[in-house]
Structures are given as structure tokens and as C-alpha cells.
Amino acid sequence: MPYQDMREFMELLKQRGEFEVCSKEVDRKIEIAKVTDKATKSGGPAILFENVKGFDTPVITGLFGTLERNALVVESTKREAFRKMIKGREHPIDPVTVRTGPCKDVIMTGKDIDLNRVPALWHQVKDSGYFISATNVIAQDPDSRVRNNSIHRMEVLDRDKLGLWINALGNLRVIIRKHLERGQPCPIVVAVGADPAVLLCGSCKIPYDMDEIAFAGGVRGAPVEVVKCETVDLDVPATSELVIEGFVMPGDEDGYVGPGTYCDEAPFAEFTGYYGIRRRSPLMQVTAVTHRKNYIYHAMGTSVSPSEHQIMITLNKEADAYAYICLTVPEENIKGVNSPLGACGQGMVISIKKTHPGQAKQVIHSILAHGSLKRVTVVDEDIDVLNALDVEWATTFRARGEDYIITSEMAGQSLDPMVTPPNLITKVGIDATLPLGGDKKGRIEVLRDLGPCRYDDLDKVNLSDYIKI
Ligand SMILES: Cc1cc2nc3c(=O)[nH]c(=O)nc-3n(C[C@H](O)[C@H](O)[C@H](O)COP(=O)(O)O)c2cc1C
């Protein structure tokens, strides 16, 4: 059964002993984010900060603080969660519109709007201000009405103004541009604290013409309940804790989403572990804020890996990679997918049951052709993708220089400090699979017949039967 809302997920974490309440007074400037980071880096719990200096609203962090917790969001395990995510693509479930929902308990428009009353966090020392970090940013294509759902950290610039940054490959860019080029405002709604599965789905790279709220429904196995917004012609998950409605307005400045209204935003501590530079980004003019009566503000930690940010990216990138490989390899022959945390979602290890010569190289190309992922290693099914030592061994002894595929001038991740402006990167794939049907060089008879030298029943050997331990 999917979670109805964020609170149900918090309750589950409580039962599992992965949830703590902090009653000590804490500052939303740096302190909460720092404590969150400390907890994440030590595998600690989600934390409800109930005494935030100057605010009545409690702040929850760490909901995505471990890889296992991310998998739990989609009711799965670290090893299998990527498979769960494909269900949303294969069997999307349309949202259902309900008359009202908890997110409508309090409705503010006009002069009543004051985003400074939201306890958004200041994360790192060199950040430019307070950022709303755990957002489902929802917008619709003006022609097809297909919904896009993506996560964007947004800087609070004024009582009713947010800075919105969109990476070079982000589909939200396309939607805003379509509106602005027609001289129309682009409606946007930001949901904070929806069912965490909806948030997680927002970080996946879904084809532009697939409705991403239906995708989230498919992953949950049940439709997302949505309600109509107050001031924009959009729907928003009904159980959200906090909802911010508004527009990107047409304007004279011709920036990356077209002739619109822009602002200066950032620096911000990005997922790469570096600060993103200050830049001109689309401005969201806020027209309504609605929330639950005693809403809980959901925030996510961000700092050098592993922080909550990279932990969440890991699962969604694995899910995306899986979707791309399914085009090349039958699902039952994809044995493992792992994005090692240090690669911050930009590196991937895949294990497959290779069934024809050259297949590993096809896998490499199908992944590198999509999204921003810049390094992929393909290994055989006997290699455990979660075991770094296994992967290192296969990479060393099942690949030669020729098995490194290098592709230049690919579109990259704009925050990657290694991209060449405006946004190009050279990507690499390593075919570390065994030769099959003459597709690789090396001492084939050794590779094929004489390794790995493993005891299959090592786990049955009890050392204490032989020595004192
Ligand atoms: C915690 C978190 C924060 C993110 N912040 C941003 C952001 O500020 N801007 C951005 O372009 N992408 C951000 N992303 C990545 C996008 O959400 C992701 O690329 C998504 O797939 C974009 O979807 P779209 O191309 O369908 O719009 C973030 C991801 C996570 C997990």
C-alpha cells in the first residue's frame, strides 16, 4: 500500500527507530542543515526539529537520508528499488481529482503571502540565502496538457518571489519557453511535503510526453489524489503540507527559457559538492500559498556526498539508467544497477547476463546517449554491483584500453565543473564483461575457463571450527 502522505512515512520511520524529535532550539540558518548532514553522514535518523528559532512551524529533514530509506519510499529495497521505478513508466496511473484536501486548510493570496514565514533553510556558508529544497515543481505543456514534475531548489527572494534554476536538460525549460514565446505567463505550482514517492519521482528523467503525476501514480501503484489550485490552472497533490502557486511572467529579458522575467540567484551548495555560481534564472511570481493547519516543513540536506541530495539522486539515476538499458537488454538479464554514492548520480555500474557479442557496448551507448550520466561500467552477472572490490577487479582484468568507449561533445550536467561551456562533456563507458563470440581481446581461454578462483561454499566454512576467534 502506498503512503497516503508524508506523515504516514514519518510514522513508519518512527516504528523502525529511524526518526527522532529535536526539542532544542535550532537556527534555520546553517544549524539545521549542519545537524542533518551530520546525521546523514553517520547513517542517522530523520529529524523533526520542533523548536525552530522565530517559527512555529516544525522542520523535518532526513526522510531521504539513507539509500535504504529511499527504497522504502517506494516500498522496496536498495537492491531492487530501481525495478520498482520502471512500473511507473510501463503502467502509469492517472491522478484523480478530489474536491478538497488537507493542503487547503489555510489559503493566502495577495498581501497575505509572505514566504519569509516559511522556515526555508540556509544550508551552507557561501549560499546566497534561504532555499526551499524539497519541491515538486509541477507545470503543464500548454498544448498537450501533459504534466511535468521536477525537483528544483528555489531561493526565497522576497515575500512573493522565488528564484528557480533549471539545468540545461530540464524539461521544465521547454514548458516555460513555450509559454513565454507566445507572450503568456507560465503557471507553476510547487508542492512541499507531498507523499515522498511523488517527490522521488520528480527527480526522474521521464520522456517529455509522459505525464509525470501519472508516472508517480504508476510507481505508487495507486493514483495520486490532486486538487485544483487557487490561482493557476493546475492541480497539486491534495495531501501536500505546503503549496506555492505562481507564474513565470513574460518580460523583456531573453534568457534561457525565452523572453521572460529573470532574477539573480545562487550560489548554492549543489549536488556536485561544489557551489553553483550566481546566475540569471527565471523568477517565479507567487500568487497564492496554501497549507495544512499545522504544517510540517520538509527540507533536504545538501553538502558534499553523501548528503541527502546525492542519496536521492542515486536511486532516480539508477531507475533512469534501467529504463534506458531495457531498450537493449531483456529485463530478466539486467542483474544489478548501482550508482556509487561518490559519483553523485553521474556514474553507474550495470551487471548483465550478456547474450550476444557487443551487447555491453550497446548498453554503454544507450546510457551515455541519455541524460547527464558521464561514466558507466558494464560487468557480468557474477559481479556484485554493490561490491566495489568486485567491480574494481572486473574492471582491471576483464577490460583493456580498447574496451573504454570515449564519446566527446555530449550534453552534460551544467553544474559539473568539468563541462566545457556552454555545456559539453566527454563521457566514458567501460566494457568490463567477459569476451563472447569473439568480441574482445585477451587470453580468452583463461578468461573463459580459468576464473574466478572462488570457493562457492565459503560462507559454510566456520573459522572457529579451526582456530580461536
Ligand atoms: C534534491 C534535488 C534537487 C534538485 N534541484 C534541481 C534544481 O534546482 N534545478 C534543476 O534543474 N534540477 C534539479 N534537480 C534535478 C531534477 O529534478 C531532475 O533532473 C529532473 O529529472 C528534471 O526533470 P524534467 O527534465 O522532467 O524537468 C534536483 C534533484 C534533486 C534530487
DSSP 59-73: EEE-TT-SHHHHHHH
369 in the same domain as 245: no
Same domain for 330 and 282: no
Task: Look at residue 459 and tell me if it is in a domain.
Answer: no
CATH number for the domain spanning 109: value is 2.30.110.10
Q: What is the domain-level CATH number for residue 396? A: 3.40.1670.10
Count CA atoms closer than 13 A to 32's CA, side-chain side: 33
* 245: in domain: yes
Is position 170 within any domain? yes
The Å distance, Cα 150 to ligand 1 centre, comes to: 6
Q: Please report, in tens digits, the pLDDT of each residue of the chain (469 residues total).
A: 899 999 999 999 999 999 999 999 999 999 999 999 999 999 999 999 999 999 999 999 999 999 999 999 999 999 999 999 999 999 999 999 999 999 999 999 999 999 999 999 999 999 999 999 999 999 999 999 999 999 999 999 999 999 999 999 999 999 999 999 999 999 999 999 999 999 999 999 999 999 999 999 999 999 999 999 999 999 999 999 999 999 999 999 999 999 999 999 999 999 999 999 999 999 999 999 999 999 999 999 999 999 999 999 999 999 999 999 998 899 999 999 999 999 999 999 999 999 999 999 999 999 999 889 999 999 999 999 999 999 999 999 999 999 999 999 999 999 999 999 889 999 999 999 999 999 999 999 999 999 999 999 999 999 999 999 9
CB-based burial, 33-71: b 16+ in 10 Å, e otherwise: bbbbbebbeeebbbbbbbebeeeebbbbbbbbbbbebbb
Asked if residue 125 belongs to a domain, the reply is yes
Q: For ligand 1, pick from 152, 156, 256 the residue to mutate: most ligand atoms within 8 Å of CB.
A: 152
Q: Is the preceding omega at residue 422 within 30 degrees of 0, hence cis?
A: yes
Domain containing 348 equals 326-449
Report yes or no: 322 and 82 within 8 Å, Cβ to Cβ.
yes
Q: Are 100 and 212 found together in one domain? A: yes
Instruction: Give ligand 1 pocket residues (Cβ under 6 A).
Output: 148, 150-153, 165-167, 170-172, 202-206, 300, 309, 312-313
Q: Does residue 196 share a domain with residue 85?
A: yes
Residue closest via CA to ligand 1's atom 5 equals 152
Within a domain: 309:
no
Listed residues 298, 314, 336: the one ending a domain? 298
Ligand 1 atom at minimum distance from 309 CA: 1
Atom index in ligand 1 nearest the CA of residue 204 equals 21
Q: Please identify, by atom number, the ligand 1 atom nearest to the C-alpha of residue 372.
A: 19
**Largest distance between two CA atoms of the chain:** 80
Q: Within 10 A of 448 (CB to CB), how many other CB atoms are there? A: 12
**To test ligand 1's pocket by mutation, which of 203, 213, 270, 315 has the most ligand atoms within 8 angstroms of CB?**
203
Q: Assess whether 110 and 246 both reside in one domain.
A: yes
| 457 within domain boundaries | no
CB 324 within 8 A of CB 308: no
In terms of domains, do 29 and 100 share one?
yes
DSSP letter string, 378-446: EEETTS-TT-HHHHHHHHHHS--GGGEEEEEEEE--TT-TTSBTTTEEEEEEEEESPP-TT-S-S-HHH
Could you identify the residue written with the cell 527522532? 20
In a domain, 461, yes or no: no
Residue nearest to atom 18 of ligand 1 (CA): 203
Number of structural domains the chain divides into:
2
Residue 202 CA, ligand 1 centroid: distance in Å: 7
| Run of H or E including 191 | strand 186-192
> Would strands 424-432 and 375-380 be described as parallel, antiparallel, or unpaired?
parallel
Verify that 278 and 350 share a domain, yes or no. no
CA 180 – ligand 1 centroid, Å: 21
Q: Report which ligand 1 atom has the smallest distance to the Cα of 206.
A: 26
91 alpha carbon – ligand 1 mean position (Å)? 23
